[in-house]
Amino acid sequence: MKKTDTHYIFELPIKVRDYEVDSEGIVNNAIYLHYLEHTRHEFCESAGFTFRDMHAQGIDPVLSKVEIEYKTPLRLGDSMISKLALSRKGPLFVFIQDIFTPEGDVVVKAKVWVATLVNGRLSRGEVLFERFKDYLE
C-alpha cells in the first residue's frame, strides 16, 4: 500500500538502530511508539516550541489515546520516513502519524490524541492552538 490522501506537514527520516530490534531481528512493536514520539518532538521544535519550552511555561502535552496499525516490519539498518499531520478535535490535538519505507510502503499507521495540561490542570489547549494554528488541517 503506497497511496495516501493525508496532508502531511512534517517529515523525519529515521534509521533503525541495533538496540531497537528483538531476537527475531525486527523492530520491537513498542519502539514504533518512540519513533512517533520523536517525530512529534521534532515537529514541535521545528515549529519553534520545544517540549522544554512548553514545560518551562507550565504547559505539558500528554497522550490521551493512541491507535496504531503495524503493516510492514522494519529490520536492523532499515531506513524510514516518519510523517505527521495535525488537526484539532475540541480540546484535543490529533496527530495522524504514518511511517513509510523510502520506497513508499506503509510500515505503521497511527492516530495520536494529545491533551494539554497547564500548570497541572487540564486545559482547552489554547496556548498550543496559537502556536500550531498554521499547521492545523
Does 22 qualify as catalytic in the annotation? Answer: yes
- 33-72 core/surface letters (b: 16 or more CB in 10 A; e: else): bebbeebbebbbeebebeeeebeeeebebeeeeeeeeeee
Q: Are 118 and 63 in contact (CB under 8 A)?
A: no
Q: Which of 5, 18, 22, 98 is catalytic?
A: 22
* Residues with a known catalytic role: 22
